[in-house]
Amino acid sequence: MNDLILVLMFGSLASYALSKIKKNIGSWFNFFVLLYVSYMIYKTGAGTEEKFFSFIPGFESVLSLTHLGKFFALVSFLIITTVSLFIPVWIEKKIKMAASFNLLYLLMSAGVLGALVSGDMLTFYVFWEIMVLASLLIVPMGKEESRKAAVIYVVLSSIGSYMYLYATFLSWERYHTLKFSEIAQGLLSEPSNGFKWLVVFLVAAAGIAKSGLFPLHTWLRITHGNAPDTFSAVLSGQLIKMGSYILAVSLGVFPSLKMFPPLYGGVPAVNYVLIAFGAVSIVLGTFMAIRQNDMKMLIAYSSVANSGYIIIG
């Protein structure tokens, strides 16, 4: 996994240089790099674990390809790679800063892969912010109004980031570890229900903000409508699904069914709250999508509904 992340990061610099020669050369380079990375993800077996860095005393960063992470990585890179196949033709006519776009596209992909194979909360946060920063710089390359969209995107994304970071600090202070598996064990034996509620709430809220789920869905409409056309497909098809990954981590790695007492039917209250948000997102997103005449806006609202289906599932 280390090698693949480095391929994407250093590949982004090569893509920038090639794009300066001709716009679509860098875009084709991106496609073949992403195709290679997708193949290697498919080939790598789940359960692979590698050391990433350990310069912080008492902490060792780990990259771990879990079954859940591999599933999300395969789906994510299928979308990212497929979209990149159409960029060479589009980029010749539609965008001026082609070199920057190609660089940021691979950098965003590196952030996505790093986040999905992170074995601890801090490494996840670092790669998550790489992905968000690259996305933030791509969004203003769209329409003239896209700068406002970028500001709204970064504000709501920051809300999720700070909540997640606070949960990271709380976990380190309490358990002196940031590994997902060890924190899950700590939460299962945690005597304070208040602390468990706080950690799960912070991580779940971060996922809601990132996935465009009600009530933090407002950024999707503006960002989709103003982002570059090809990037809107990545936003809808992949990036907001990363919020669903956080929610899967918060309810799967930190198992709410075992952590909290059941409210009704053996299901704890936190699950019912998320189901309610999901149901509202489905209804709101579907009705708003029906009203749209613009294809990108229709996709934006349909993404809100899809996020609702995902969280209920």
Which residues have CB under 8 Å from 188's CB, separation 6+?
Answer: 255, 258, 259
pLDDT of residue 32: 92
Longest dimension (CA), the chain: 63
Residue 286 and residue 203 in contact, taking contact as beta carbons nearer than 8 Å: no
* One pLDDT digit (tens) per residue for the chain, 313 residues: 778 888 898 988 988 888 888 878 888 898 999 999 999 888 888 777 777 766 666 667 778 888 888 888 888 899 889 988 888 887 777 667 788 888 998 998 999 898 888 888 888 888 888 888 888 888 777 666 666 666 777 777 788 888 888 888 888 888 888 887 788 788 777 777 788 788 888 888 887 777 777 776 767 777 766 677 777 777 777 777 777 777 777 666 666 666 666 666 666 677 777 778 878 888 888 888 888 777 777 777 777 787 777 777 6
CA distances from 147 to 107, 220, 229, 301 (A): 20, 14, 15, 20
Residue 270 and residue 197 in contact, taking contact as beta carbons nearer than 8 Å: yes
pTM: 0.83
User: Any idea where the domains of the chain sit in the sequence?
Assistant: 1-119, 169-313
The two structure tokens encoding residue 25 = 């050369």
Q: How many Cβ atoms sit within 10 Å of the Cβ of residue 42?
A: 12
pLDDT of residue 34: 92
pLDDT of residue 35: 92
For residue 261, is the peptide bond before it cis, meaning its omega torsion is within 30 degrees of 0?
Answer: no
Helix (H) or strand (E) holding 289: helix 269-290
Q: How many Cβ atoms sit within 10 Å of the Cβ of residue 279?
A: 15
**Which of 168, 182, 175, 163 shows the shortest CA–CA distance to 64?**
182
